[in-house]
Structure 1
Amino acid sequence: MNSPKKLNYETRPLKFVERKMLLSSFSRICYYFKENYQYIGLGGISFTDFKLFHKELHIDEMHSIEGGSFSLSKLEVNNPYSFITIHTGHTSEVLHNIDLTKKTIAWLDYDGTLEDYMFTDISILFSKLPIGSLYLITCNKELKDPETSNIYEIDTFNDKFPNQIPYNTVKKDLATDRSHLVIGKMIKTAIDKTIKERNRIGENIKFEQLFNIVYQENRGANMFTYGGIILDKEQELNTLNIEHLEIISNTDDPFTINLPNLTFKEMDLLNCSLREEEKLEILIQDNVFTRIDIEKYNKVYRYLPVFMDIRI
């Protein structure tokens, strides 16, 4: 994972919001199951998710997989906690060395576009992960041929992902504004295939989609996060008490993280006017805000980062 050489993951506002929104659902689920979880992620050199999930979810068993060019010495220097085990190597190799029979939150936050090995990772994880485990994948959702930099032709895409493309997919479905639909269906199909194999040998489990998220950082990549939870077949999703959270989506309609461009003073003003429609209408009429600004803010204000320059 080499993107930390270009981006500081701790100061990307949309990524920050996504992380905090996911945390709100993870905490409910961990509380429901009342068991210790392990976390598997791609920590890079910032370990941002690891620090957050340890502090907020009290997870003490963590595995960071690093397949980039960072040296083990550099990774160990940046490792914030002694209990994070750093594994160097490809995810599809390293996952075999982790005990996947433990209740797990696995967030494979790839920095590249969709690749075939990601489906291998799915097969490895879902062949063992127990009930209550969460799985998420994040990748760049552009489906472009690296040789031409254009959207894949259907035949070329099918050659790259044989027998994995949804029925009736056409080229326009691979365009960036629709590609998450194709990627999501491909991932869900791969998960269900492995779940079905486990049920065939005596288990009684299912996978429930919880996350279907798209966002684009300013001048950055178009990203897609898909994920969900393994449950007993008889368990209803509403028992987890998460369905009202903004980020939860078990349909094809994605949750789009889209931040308004507001000053601190404007955000304070909106905070004082939340759910006060008359006040908000006056602010719109005075051209302080647009209705779109307010709608964007209402969806994410609980999770917005505050970055400040301080002297230490």
Structure 2
Amino acid sequence: MTQSYRLVDYSLRSGKFAERKMLSELMSRLRPFAPVQEYVYVGFGSIWFADCVLFHKALGIREMISIERVLAHAERFEFNRPFANIDLRFGTAAEELVNLDWSRRQIVWLDYDDPLSLGILGDLRTVANRAGSGTMLAVTVQAERLFRGTSDDDDLEPIETPGAFRDEFGDSRTPADLAYEDLTGWGLAKTTRMAVREEIEHGLSRRRQGMRDGGGLAFRQVAAFEYKDGARMTTIVGVFVNADEEASFDACGFEKLGYYRATMDSVVRISIPKLTPREMRHLERLLPGEPTKEELGAIPPSDARHYGGFYRYLPNYASFEP
């Protein structure tokens, strides 16, 4: 797994920041299932723990688990842990997900730095095989370029053709109409989301065949994002729901959110325009209304429109002038 925390401060990336705030809003709507404070949050906090800080302060979640793969830096992770209620678990997701108490309602954010891999798909099967009704799962994957093997390998071979994709992921995971353009740019982001969703569905199907505790469990997608702070990233979010708790899911009101996306072919692209602090302050005085061209002045209408779609989820920028 890429040690991106050594390269980027997660708390400063605007696309990631907005996604994190929207995820917090989605989580807050889980109350018809249970008080959100009673959920267990599971994520990859990294050295910044930006997710844990937000979800604890905004939602009051008390029990938090942060899975960290880089055992060699354990002391530094421990030093930077912001709250005593964060349970640091050092190991891979594959090793630690199976050890969670799945009898509890969980909010699980598998926030990978890496592109889609067989290992990631294996983690998704682990969750789908164990999650209970009311558990929320968010999966974030890099969508810049696919490679054969894992990021731990010394020589990574890129996957650039449908045939290479099939060789790596198998016939059952390769869409019949997969094309070259589906393996590059935002086309790869869509391919990644489809693979994630289908792996979850496959896990649930196998679970139903075994008629274990989750025989009637379904995965209800509520959001999908894509953004590019550096590398392209894409995220899918959903809730596991038993048939007898459909009313609780409906009561969450996810569909009332402007970024609600329930199908695999629909996504919100988080696009933050480059505006000066003064331009942002000017726009916010006009929002959430529809500013006229005269009110916008020199601000490009397209930039104003994009800013209006995400301003509630952006960091507060300060201007420091000599």
**TM-score, structure 1 normalization:** 0.90
Length, aligned pairs only: 304
Residue 213 in 1 paired to residue 214 in 2?
A: no
Gaps of at least 5 residues in structure 2 are 149-154
Among 245, 249, 265, the alignment partner of 2:261 is 249
User: Does the C-alpha gap of structure 1 residues 276 and 171 become closer, same or farther in structure 2, counting only changes over 3 Å?
Assistant: closer
Whether the 8 Å CA contact 2:138–2:237 is kept in 1: the answer is yes
User: Does the C-alpha gap of structure 1 residues 155 and 303 become closer, same or farther in structure 2, counting only changes over 3 Å?
Assistant: same
Residue 153 in 1 paired to residue 158 in 2?
A: no
1:52 alignment partner, SS class: helix
User: Does the C-alpha gap of structure 1 residues 148 and 44 become closer, same or farther in structure 2, counting only changes over 3 Å?
Assistant: closer
Residue 60 in 1 paired to residue 99 in 2?
A: no
1:122 alignment partner, SS class: helix
Report the alpha carbon displacement of residue 255 of structure 1 after superposing the two structures with TM. Answer: 0.2
Deviations for 1:266-312, whole angstroms, at most 9, x for unmatched residues? 222212223554x522135x4x11220121011101111024489xx
Aligned to 1:21: 22
Aligned to 1:280: 292
Gaps of at least 5 residues in structure 1 are none
Aligned to 2:272: 259
Among 118, 121, 124, the alignment partner of 1:119 is 121
User: Does the C-alpha gap of structure 1 residues 294 and 111 become closer, same or farther in structure 2, counting only changes over 3 Å?
Assistant: same
Among 102, 106, 109, the alignment partner of 2:108 is 106
Comparing 257-266 and 230-239, the one that deviates more: 230-239
Aligned to 2:135: 133
Comparing 260-269 and 234-243, the one that deviates more: 234-243
Alignment of 1:1-312 (within 5 A): 2-29=3-30, 31-35=31-35, 36-68=38-70, 70-145=72-147, 152-162=160-170, 163-200=172-209, 201=211, 203-217=215-229, 220-233=230-243, 235=246, 238-251=250-263, 252-274=265-287, 276-277=289-290, 280-284=292-296, 286=297, 288-308=298-318
2:133 alignment partner, SS class: coil
User: Does the C-alpha gap of structure 1 residues 275 and 96 become closer, same or farther in structure 2, counting only changes over 3 Å?
Assistant: closer
User: Does the C-alpha gap of structure 1 residues 225 and 276 become closer, same or farther in structure 2, counting only changes over 3 Å?
Assistant: closer
Aligned to 2:151: none
Deviations for 1:202-252, whole angstroms, at most 9, x for unmatched residues? 6211111112110001xx100111121111236265432121212221121
Report the alpha carbon displacement of residue 101 of structure 1 after superposing the two structures with TM. Answer: 2.3
2:319 & 2:308 partners in 1: Cα distance? 26
User: Does the C-alpha gap of structure 1 residues 192 and 211 become closer, same or farther in structure 2, counting only changes over 3 Å?
Assistant: same
User: Does the C-alpha gap of structure 1 residues 144 and 58 become closer, same or farther in structure 2, counting only changes over 3 Å?
Assistant: same
1:99 alignment partner, SS class: coil
Percent sequence identity over aligned pairs:
29
Whether the 8 Å CA contact 1:166–1:185 is kept in 2: the answer is no
Please tell me the root mean square deviation across aligned C-alpha atoms, in Å. Answer: 2.1
Deviations for 1:130-151, whole angstroms, at most 9, x for unmatched residues? 1111111111112344668765
2:268 & 2:243 partners in 1: Cα distance? 26
1:274 & 1:54 partners in 2: Cα distance? 28
2:242 & 2:4 partners in 1: Cα distance? 37
Report the alpha carbon displacement of residue 94 of structure 1 after superposing the two structures with TM. Answer: 1.3
Report the alpha carbon displacement of residue 193 of structure 1 after superposing the two structures with TM. Answer: 1.5
Deviations for 1:167-194, whole angstroms, at most 9, x for unmatched residues? 3212221122211221112111111112
Look up the equivalent residue of 1:273 and give its one-letter code. L
1:222 & 1:307 partners in 2: Cα distance? 23
2:48 & 2:13 partners in 1: Cα distance? 12
Look up the equivalent residue of 2:98 and give its one-letter code. H
1:59 alignment partner, SS class: coil
2:157 & 2:315 partners in 1: Cα distance? 34
1:275 & 1:64 partners in 2: Cα distance? 36
Runs of 4+ residues deviating >6 angstroms: 146-149
1:307 & 1:289 partners in 2: Cα distance? 18
User: Does the C-alpha gap of structure 1 residues 86 and 309 become closer, same or farther in structure 2, counting only changes over 3 Å?
Assistant: farther
1:294 & 1:71 partners in 2: Cα distance? 43
Look up the equivalent residue of 2:6 and give its one-letter code. K
Whether the 8 Å CA contact 1:151–1:175 is kept in 2: the answer is no
